[in-house]
A and B are shown apart, each in its own frame.
Chain A
Amino acid sequence: MYISDIDTNTKRAAKTALVYLLVSLFCALFGAVYELYSHEVYSFYMIYAFAFPLAGGTMPFLVISLTRVRRYPNSLSRNLYHSGIAALTVGCIICGVLDIYGTTNMIVIWYWIIGIALFFAGVIVYFLSLVLGNKKS
């Protein structure tokens, strides 16, 4: 690896962390405004939806940008991972909408199933790439 590679990776990770931070802020703001008009019906799903992009996106990529990772996550692992976080975040907000209205819908479970599956798929693909990359070199 070259120093320039590390700099590039740092910048990429920092950029991704920033995007996730903005998404978290948007979710927090959306939740706050939605709760404002919900006749004081509160939903943990709506209030804490921002936690998914924050904990699942901003923090890991911040860590990657601050540490010298051996290998930056490849596009497949990133796509899977981002898709997982997206599904979990959207699912959480939709659960909040239903919760505040006072209703339920069984099919929201697919947000959680797909979200968790894609999240772990992304993580696994990344670690596999580390392991296989080691074996090659």
Chain B
Amino acid sequence: MKKYLWAILYGIILTAFTLYVLMDTFVITRVYQTVPSDDEVSVTESRGSDDMEADVEKNTAVITENSYDDGNISITITEYRENNTEIYAADIQVTSAEYLKTAFASSAYGKNITQNTSEIAENNSAILAINGDYYGSQENGYVLRGGVLYRETASSGQEDLVIYQDGSFEIIDETSISAQQLLDDGAQQILSFGPGLVKDGQIAVTEDEEVGKAKTSNPRTAIGIINELHYLFVVSDGRTDESEGLTLYELAQFMQSLGVETAYNLDGGGSSTMYFNGEVINNPTTNGNSIKERGVSDIVYIGY
């Protein structure tokens, strides 16, 4: 027994450390910052009238199974079938960039804070929502949401999508510009996943492009801009018999075919979810066996 004492003790320590690493990576929740709620926002910003505006607009909205129009926000959902995959494209036109928003799970910025896309969408009264960049699974990469900078550590070779206050899109490399500079230049949101799919109307991914070493067919989520205040949210199914999924190149081709000027890849796989008018309209799946949402750390949505 004494002969194996070192081995036993060391084995216990190594196992305990490994369990801690796994818990810290996947389980232990850490809230670094909470997003100020509407009540905490300055009184002079008259949130009350914004809420009323939202209610009025929604009450007068024309809503069908695959469209929404209230004069400020117009959304049309079209289903496509390409590359043996169901693809859901939401064409969005808004009168103001303020209706293109992002939100965190549980309204908090941190680690291992996740909720289903539909839950986050409901909590934020979203009309249309897609999963975001899952910032929570990364230790680096810019996190800028709603004009607030949460993380400014750059990741080398990381391409981000910047959404400016005027609603315009730009794809940048984190190593070439700081998050603070982008904020100073008028950035409202930064999404950090990538890669960029379409730039200036041209496909920007090679046929071998990888996202986390996955260059194969998977469920995908992408966001694009067609022209001023005219956007495209796209989610594809995948990993099932019914839907194979898309490679990044196929996703880029699809975005380009719908006329986007700039398109950007967001978190895919089990995260890919599109929520519209209170329902998840795609078939999210992690392993292809069961259709169900996966918790994500953030969403991009259209709402008031």
Contacts and interface: CB of A to CB of B under 8 A. Distances in A.
B14 A41 contact: no
Contacts of B26: 101
Interface string B128-156: 00000000011110000000000000000
A100 to B, nearest CB: 8
Contacts of A127: none
A94 B213 contact: no
Given A82-B7, A105-B21, 4 more contacts: A86-B11, A103-B139, A104-B139, A106-B139
Interface in B5-21: 6-7, 10-11, 14, 17-18, 21
Interface of A: 37, 39-43, 79, 82-83, 86-87, 90, 94, 97-108, 110
A83 B139 contact: no
B214 A103 contact: no
Contacts of A106: 139
Contact of A105 (B139, B213, B218): B139
Contact of B239 (A39, A43, A86, A104): A39
Interface of B: 6-7, 10-11, 14, 17-18, 21-22, 24-26, 137-140, 212-214, 216, 218, 239, 269, 287
A94 B15 CA distance: 11
B137 A42 contact: no
A39 B24 contact: no
Given A39-B269, A41-B212, A90 B137 contact: no
A86 B10 contact: yes
Contacts of B18: 90, 94
A13 to B, nearest CB: 17
A90 B26 CA distance: 17
Contact of B218 (A39, A98, A107): A39
B139 A43 contact: no
Contacts of B287: 37
27 contacts: A39-B216, A39-B239, A40-B214, A41-B213, A41-B214, A42-B213, A79-B10, A82-B7, A83-B10, A90-B14, A94-B18, A94-B21, A94-B22, A98-B25, A99-B213, A101-B26, A101-B137, A102-B137, A103-B137, A103-B139, A104-B138, A104-B139, A104-B140, A105-B25, A105-B139, A107-B24, A108-B21
B14 A107 contact: no
A132 B14 CA distance: 32
Contacts of B239: 39
Contacts of B269: 39
Contacts, number: 53
B214 A39 contact: yes
Nearest to B140: A104
Contact of B138 (A79, A82, A103): A103
Given A101-B137, A104-B138, A87 B212 contact: no
A102 B22 contact: no
Contacts of B218: 39
A102 B212 contact: yes
B148 to A, nearest CB: 23
A55 to B, nearest CB: 20
A43 B18 CA distance: 19
Contact of B24 (A43, A86, A105): A105
Contacts of A43: 213
Closest 3 CB pairs of A and B: A102-B212, A103-B137, A40-B216
B250 to A, nearest CB: 15
Contacts of B138: 103-104
Nearest to B139: A104
Contacts of B7: 79, 82
A79 B8 CA distance: 11
A86 B14 contact: yes
Contacts of B213: 41-43, 99-100
Contacts of A40: 214, 216
